[in-house]
């Protein structure tokens, strides 16, 4: 790997006092030196960020001003593409922990991220959250807590997403359903009774709906080293900051594996669902049918954004487990081992209690 990167994006963030590497300080707009405490402000953080015009990008990928070259390492095991900041000591895939070979690094182009939600707390805090989670697990093996859960195994990863904005206009055709009730007599003889039954009368409906679809979020990461669980994948996008490579200092950044074109198709699908829900609202009545939607999107813009997650994998009895902490909110989710003996003994306990109850019940009668 080229140890002297000339690219602006990969310029070394060295401390002017002591030469040590500066890293992003979570929860701030600063990069700091761990050795002498020197701080630098990321001034661009507060500036408004730019939405990019979509069509131009779909037509001439790779040839525009917002593309940038970065050094990437590809994981052959799970398929993730990771941009490792210079001087990153441990070169293991964040997803699947396979060692990455520095010599395999290659130059790659990516669409420059427009905005980033920076980490709001550090690795040590993420590790605390994990320890607390482990302590609260039921049916987990006792020695899980003693298992090697070193804080260094917890890595901060910026995950790529596409977001799309568009003006949506749609013509729809459907039906408006209105409920009414009929009383019917059922049964015969003694069992004769009347019941109220709901029916629906349908009326044809058509019309137009329009509105602005803001920030449709589409995941841009596809690998098989463990998906980001849906439970932790909620970020407050109001806290997006204008992208600056300094926010990445000290963290691993994943390059999108789902191209813009495919991400856009997923966003169009989501827009179609939004159009259908707007049509239903427009139709009104008690219930609706939508038969046809003619949807048009215009003024389409997009952003490539990065969102923060701490990932750790731990080995337990020879098996690998992953856990994930949302780097903004601290929400945690992960896979976990179960203790066979704890569950076995609990079931045995329940069976014994039941056996005793049955015994006394039988002996009293």
Strands 287-316 and 115-116: parallel
Q: Which is nearer to Zn ion, 74 or 336 (CB)?
A: 74
Q: Which is nearer to Zn ion, 193 or 319 (CB)?
A: 319
Q: Which is nearer to Zn ion, 36 or 102 (CB)?
A: 36
Which range of residues in 19-27, 45-53, 59-67, 158-166 is near Zn ion by CB under 5 A? 19-27
Q: Does 77 bind Zn ion (CB under 5 A)?
A: yes
> Which one of 7, 36, 101, 352 is in contact with Zn ion (CB under 5 A)?
36
- In whole angstroms, the minimum distance from the beta carbon of 158 to Zn ion comes to 16
- In whole angstroms, the minimum distance from the beta carbon of 105 to Zn ion comes to 15
- In whole angstroms, the minimum distance from the beta carbon of 313 to Zn ion comes to 10
Q: Which is nearer to Zn ion, 93 or 213 (CB)?
A: 93
Which range of residues in 40-48, 110-118, 126-134, 219-227 is near Zn ion by CB under 5 A? 219-227
**Residue (of 66, 10, 9) closest to 260 by Cα position:** 66
Q: Does 339 bind Zn ion (CB under 5 A)?
A: no
- In whole angstroms, the minimum distance from the beta carbon of 219 to Zn ion comes to 17
- In whole angstroms, the minimum distance from the beta carbon of 90 to Zn ion comes to 13
- In whole angstroms, the minimum distance from the beta carbon of 20 to Zn ion comes to 5
State the binding string over 85-124 for Zn ion (x if CB under 5 A, else -): --------x-xx-x--------------------------
Q: Which is nearer to Zn ion, 14 or 145 (CB)?
A: 14
**Residue 87 burial (10 A CB sphere; 0-12, 13-18, 19+):** middle
Interface with Zn ion in residues 39-58 (CB under 5 A): none
Q: Does 260 bind Zn ion (CB under 5 A)?
A: no
Chain residues in the site for Zn ion (CB under 5 A): 15, 17-18, 20, 33, 35-36, 38, 75, 77-78, 80, 93, 95-96, 98, 225
């Amino acid at each position: 790997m080229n140890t002297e990167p000339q690219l602006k994006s990969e310029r070394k963030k060295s401390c002017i006092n002591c030469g040590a590497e500066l890293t992003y300080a979570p929860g701030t707009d600063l990069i700091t030196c761990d050795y002498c405490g020197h701080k630098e402000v990321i001034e661009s953080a507060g500036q408004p960020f730019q939405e990019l015009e979509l069509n131009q990008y779909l037509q001439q990928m790779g040839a525009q001003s917002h593309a940038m070259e970065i050094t990437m390492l590809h994981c052959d095991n799970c398929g993730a593409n990771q941009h490792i900041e210079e001087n990153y000591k441990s070169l293991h895939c964040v997803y699947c922990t396979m060692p990455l070979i520095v010599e395999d690094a290659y130059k790659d182009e990516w669409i420059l991220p427009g905005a980033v939600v920076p980490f709001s707390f550090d690795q040590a805090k993420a590790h605390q959250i994990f320890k607390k989670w482990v302590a609260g697990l039921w049916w987990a093996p006792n020695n899980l807590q003693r298992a090697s859960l070193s804080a260094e195994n917890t890595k901060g990863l910026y995950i790529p997403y596409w977001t799309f904005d568009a003006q949506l206009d749609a013509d729809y055709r459907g039906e408006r359903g209105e409920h009414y009730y009929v009383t019917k007599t059922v049964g015969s003889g003694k069992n004769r009774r009347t019941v109220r039954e709901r029916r629906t009368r349908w009326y044809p409906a058509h019309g137009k709906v329009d509105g602005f679809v803001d920030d449709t979020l589409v995941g841009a990461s596809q690998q098989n080293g463990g998906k980001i669980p849906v439970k932790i994948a909620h970020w407050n996008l109001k806290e997006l900051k204008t992208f600056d490579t300094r926010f990445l200092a000290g963290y691993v950044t994943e390059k999108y594996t789902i191209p813009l074109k495919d991400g856009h198709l997923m966003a169009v699908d989501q827009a179609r669902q939004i159009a259908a829900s707007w049509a239903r609202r427009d139709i009104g009545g008690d219930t609706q049918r939508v038969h046809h939607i003619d949807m048009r999107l215009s003024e389409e813009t997009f952003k490539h954004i990065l969102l923060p997650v701490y990932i750790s994998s731990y080995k337990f009895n020879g098996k690998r487990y992953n856990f994930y902490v949302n780097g903004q909110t601290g929400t945690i989710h992960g896979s976990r081992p179960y203790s066979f003996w704890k569950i076995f003994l609990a079931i045995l306990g329940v069976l014994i209690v039941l056996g005793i109850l049955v015994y006394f019940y039988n002996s009293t009668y």
